[in-house]
């Protein structure tokens, strides 16, 4: 067997996580980092680094991420998702028209070793512990569907029978047996293959102390595997070990087969990016967008949708908006005031331009800070402050993360909705104006405010209680209003 034995066990992580880690996952704000592109904390592990090449390693590592966790903590995020850390293939592929390496972590060559360019197991444990000290949970990205191109699993006589591949044949036409992007496909239906992969990945979960997994390419592995995966994660990693799955193109309805079988806790809602960006650009009716946001609340009870504006697999939101930061702020407002787990893609909060692949995986901008690989890349600190404010408001108001959605004004360019969480009594009114002219909001004073005054949570200021709530919303701007405290 290849790598049949796991590395020697490390000292277990601290058993006293911060009390705040008992939060409901519905209340988390998740920050997604491609480890190689964030921060280089240990130049000694740099190998074949070329910052000028879009497909090469750029030098980011676990030490760099740990040393710069305050960048995340001060933003207000409460959970961190990192790309896979297992040893990736040594070489590169050229199908994209340029040398493309496994800097992203998704092209495994050994599931039992950590990629040396990212650091050591001790440094992974140290990262998780440092996150927990700041009240930040950690999700580790894991891949069960495939190894990397021409990995040793395909070359080794003992394991090549575990795989379908374009070289050996067997790639099928359906989701489970297809060879995604030409990658070798593990026959996870074989008990010995499933056991090998589960033992390896759960070993990382156990030794590192992470709080959950982000599951790659979920629909390309059959349901029986995911049921066993859930059983073992609960048995070996804890009943609360969180599973966030990527079902490509997923939405509330298409994710339900995995929720109904209790195979994972949450899945990505791929529809949010397109719906939100279309609306802020005036390309969709407000009533239709309201219907979409309301429908997201119908996700199966106890399960969650995670929604993003940008990711490593799609063109970034700011790029799609052609650099229009004003409308990008509106999209961020919508993301952070609606239900689901908002996912912030590293650097978009400081206006990292993103772009289409591979530009959507650019380096974290650090401005004047002497921090590779993104030193000198410009940052928009005003945009970051806006994100800080939005996140702070979301964390202070359970109505925004767990409340029910009610459209109040859904005709024209001014969109107004109420988020109300009956259990706590919290209620927030969100008004977003995508139009080029100021618009007036006039609705009955929300019953949930019980006749109390209101306050502008974004800009400050008090609004006196009355029979109606009447405010003006400037062009291309938003108001977020809550009961005065």
The tokens for 413 are: 């360019």
Q: What is the largest CA-CA distance in the chain?
A: 77
pLDDT of residue 20: 56
pLDDT of residue 2: 44
pLDDT tens, position by position, for the chain (485 residues)? 344 344 334 444 444 444 457 889 999 999 999 999 999 999 999 999 999 999 999 999 999 999 999 999 999 999 999 999 999 999 999 988 999 999 999 999 999 999 999 999 999 999 999 999 999 999 999 999 999 999 999 999 999 999 999 988 999 999 999 999 999 999 999 999 999 999 999 999 999 999 999 999 999 999 999 999 999 999 999 999 999 999 999 999 999 999 999 999 999 999 999 999 999 999 999 999 999 999 999 999 999 999 999 999 999 999 999 999 999 999 999 999 999 999 999 999 999 998 999 999 999 999 999 999 999 999 999 999 999 999 999 999 999 999 999 999 999 999 999 999 999 999 999 999 999 999 999 999 999 998 899 999 999 999 999 999 999 999 999 999 999 98
pLDDT of residue 3: 42
Nearest to 408 by CA among 423, 427, 384: 427
pTM, two decimal places: 0.95
pLDDT of residue 217: 98
Backbone phi and psi for residue 231, each to the nearest 5 degrees, phi listed first: -60, -45
The tokens for 260 are: 């109904």
Angle at 170 between CA 169 and CA 172, to 5 degrees: 125
pLDDT of residue 199: 98
Distance CA 164, CA 193 (A): 12
Distance CA 244, CA 141 (A): 9
Helix (H, G, I), strand (E, B) or coil at 63: helix
Q: What is the dihedral of CA 308, 401, 388, 54, to 10 degrees?
A: -20
Architecture of domain 19-396: Alpha-Beta Barrel (3.20)
The tokens for 95 are: 């199908």
**Neighbouring C-beta atoms of residue 462, cutoff 10 Å:** 10
Residue boundaries of the structural domains of the chain: 19-396, 404-483
Q: Are 346 and 32 in contact (CB under 8 A)?
A: yes
Which stretches within 30-112 are classed as H helix?
Answer: 62-67, 69-75
Backbone phi and psi for residue 313, each to the nearest 5 degrees, phi listed first: -110, -5
Which residues face 418 on adjacent strands?
406, 429
Angle at 343 between CA 31 and CA 129, to 5 degrees: 30
Nearest to 272 by CA among 222, 342, 328: 342
Q: What is the dihedral of CA 393, 395, 397, 398, to 10 degrees?
A: 150
Count Cα neighbours of 404 within 13 Å in the Cβ-side half-sphere: 9
The distance of Cα 301 from the centroid of its chain, to the nearest Å, equals 21
Instruction: Give the right CATH number for 404-483 from 2.40.50.140, 2.60.450.10, 1.10.287.70, 2.60.40.1180.
Output: 2.60.40.1180
Q: Are 227 and 199 in contact (CB under 8 A)?
A: no
The tokens for 35 are: 């480890």
CA separation (Å) from 427 to 223, 297, 448? 39, 16, 6
Distance CA 163, CA 139 (A): 27
First to last CA, the chain: 63
Burial 203-220 (b: 16+ CB within 10 A, else e): bbbbbbbbbbbbbbbbbb
CA separation (Å) from 21 to 26, 212, 240, 332? 12, 12, 11, 25
Nearest to 342 by CA among 96, 25, 123: 25
pLDDT of residue 21: 77
pLDDT of residue 5: 40
């Amino acid at each position: 067997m290849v790598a049949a034995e796991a590395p020697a066990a490390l000292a277990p992580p601290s058993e006293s996580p911060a009390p705040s880690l008992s939060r409901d996952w519905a209340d988390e704000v998740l920050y997604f980092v491609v480890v190689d592109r964030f921060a280089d904390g240990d130049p000694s592990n740099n190998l074949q680094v070329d910052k000028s090449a879009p497909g090469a390693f750029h030098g980011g590592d676990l030490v760099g991420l740990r040393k710069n966790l305050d960048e995340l903590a001060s933003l207000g995020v409460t959970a961190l998702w990192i790309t896979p850390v297992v040893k990736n293939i040594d070489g590169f592929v050229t199908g994209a028209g340029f040398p493309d390496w496994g800097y992203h972590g998704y092209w495994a060559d050994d599931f039992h070793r950590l990629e040396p360019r990212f650091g050591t197991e001790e440094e992974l444990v140290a990262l998780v512990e440092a996150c927990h000290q700041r009240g930040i949970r950690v999700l580790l990205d894991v891949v069960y569907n495939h190894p990397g191109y021409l990995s040793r699993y395909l070359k080794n006589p003992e394991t090549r029978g575990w795989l379908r591949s374009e070289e050996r044949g067997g790639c099928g036409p359906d989701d489970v047996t297809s060879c995604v992007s030409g990658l070798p496909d593990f026959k996870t239906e074989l008990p010995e293959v499933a056991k090998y992969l589960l033992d390896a990945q759960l070993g990382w979960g156990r030794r590192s102390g992470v709080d959950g997994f982000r599951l790659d390419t979920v629909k390309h592995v059959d349901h029986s595997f995911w049921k066993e995966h859930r059983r073992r994660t609960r048995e070996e990693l804890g009943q609360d070990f969180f599973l966030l799955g990527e079902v490509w193109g997923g939405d509330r309805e298409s994710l339900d087969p995995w929720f109904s079988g209790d195979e994972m806790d949450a899945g990505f809602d791929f529809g949010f990016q397109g719906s939100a960006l279309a609306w802020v650009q005036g390309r969709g009716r407000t009533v239709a967008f309201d219907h979409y946001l309301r429908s997201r609340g119908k996700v199966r009870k106890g399960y969650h949708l995670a929604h993003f504006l940008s990711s490593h697999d799609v063109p970034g939101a700011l790029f799609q908006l052609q650099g229009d930061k004003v409308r990008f702020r509106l999209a961020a407002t919508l993301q952070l005031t609606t239900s689901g787990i908002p996912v912030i893609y590293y650097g978009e909060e400081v206006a990292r331009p993103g772009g289409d692949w591979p530009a959507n995986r650019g380096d974290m901008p650090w401005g004047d800070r002497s921090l590779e690989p993104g030193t000198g890349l410009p940052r928009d600190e005003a945009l970051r402050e806006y994100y800080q404010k939005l996140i702070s408001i979301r964390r202070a108001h359970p109505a925004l993360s767990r409340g029910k959605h009610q459209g109040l004004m859904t005709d024209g360019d001014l969109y107004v909705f109420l988020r109300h969480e009956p259990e706590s009594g919290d209620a927030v009114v969100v008004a977003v104006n995508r139009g080029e002219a100021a618009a007036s909001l006039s609705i009955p004073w929300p019953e949930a405010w019980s006749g109390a005054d209101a306050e502008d949570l974004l800009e400050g200021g008090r609004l006196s209680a009355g029979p109606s709530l009447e405010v003006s919303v400037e062009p291309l701007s938003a108001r977020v209003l809550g009961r005065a405290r």
